[in-house]
């Protein structure tokens, strides 16, 4: 099963709040889990990434939590800002293939 | 520098036209990728090049023809496209691990293609 399931599809958060996006997978051959941020009319930009031997990674306001046994990972955006309003994609890389499998995306709107 | 450039930014073509999309990176990456992205959908992998050789073709119709002339350049030649091929075409590049592991893919801004 090569799917990555992402939720919610859309999210509205007040400025200063915490945005949480969740992803789940089945395939144990995934070995790298990046998150991408995409603004309208632009290409996806890498936000933060994690490997399955690490349970949490933090970069500034962005944190990935990874639960290997549950095959779930999530993105937390602390102190969300209107400039964070974008579409967020989780992804998972199939080991030794170069293939990146994307979740369906979450459209985040941060209200001022 | 993590920049991948793509030209043109926008392209309008008829179903009988032949056109090409161009992608360039100067990060020394030896893996390059073409993706297709429809509105409000995730990118879908089309082709992967490793060391200038085609390593993955995701059953893409032959009206799309990729080419990797050197380690910095990736082209996508388009011929006899259909209106449903209208989409954002994204190029990406990454390093290649010797053990075959994944390295971060860096995306270009894309070419917005409209087929009439």
Mind listing the pLDDT tens digit of every residue in chain B (116 residues)?
Answer: 669 999 999 999 988 889 999 999 999 999 999 999 999 999 999 999 999 999 999 999 999 999 999 999 999 999 999 999 999 999 999 987 655 556 789 999 999 999 99
Query: How large is the average pLDDT for residues A5-34?
Result: 95
Q: Is A103 on the interface with B (CB under 8 A)?
A: yes
Query: Residue A97: what pLDDT?
Result: 79
Q: Is A40 on the interface with B (CB under 8 A)?
A: no
Give the strands of the sheet with B73-79, arranged side by side.
B4-7, B18-25, B73-79, B64-70
What rounded mean pLDDT belongs to chain A?
94
Report whether pLDDT(A76) > 90.
yes
Query: How large is the average pLDDT for residues A39-59?
Result: 93
Cα A61 to Cα A19, A76, A77, A85: the distances in Å are 10, 8, 6, 14
Which residue in A46, A87, A104 is closest to B104 by CB distance? Answer: A46
């Amino acid at each position: 099963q090569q799917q990555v399931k992402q939720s919610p599809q859309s999210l509205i958060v007040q400025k200063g709040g915490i945005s949480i996006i969740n992803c789940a997978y089945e395939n144990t051959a995934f070995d790298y889990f990046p998150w991408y941020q995409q603004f309208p009319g632009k290409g996806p930009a890498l936000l933060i990434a994690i490997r399955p031997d690490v349970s949490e990674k933090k970069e500034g306001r962005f944190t990935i939590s990874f639960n290997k046994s549950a095959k779930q990972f999530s993105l937390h955006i602390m102190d969300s800002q209107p400039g964070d309003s974008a579409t967020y994609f989780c992804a998972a890389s199939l080991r030794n293939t170069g293939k990146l499998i994307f979740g369906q995306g979450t459209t985040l709107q941060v209200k001022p | 520098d993590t920049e991948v450039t793509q030209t043109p930014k926008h392209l309008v073509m008829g179903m009988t036209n032949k056109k090409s999309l161009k992608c360039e990176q100067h990060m020394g990456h030896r893996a390059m990728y073409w993706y297709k992205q429809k509105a409000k959908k995730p990118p879908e992998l089309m082709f992967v090049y490793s060391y200038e050789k085609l390593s993955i073709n995701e059953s893409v119709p032959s009206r799309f023809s990729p080419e990797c002339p050197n380690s910095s350049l990736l082209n996508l030649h388009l011929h006899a496209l259909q209106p449903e091929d209208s989409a954002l075409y994204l190029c990406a590049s990454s390093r290649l691990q010797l053990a075959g592991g994944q390295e971060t893919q860096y995306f270009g801004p894309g070419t917005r293609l409209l087929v009439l």
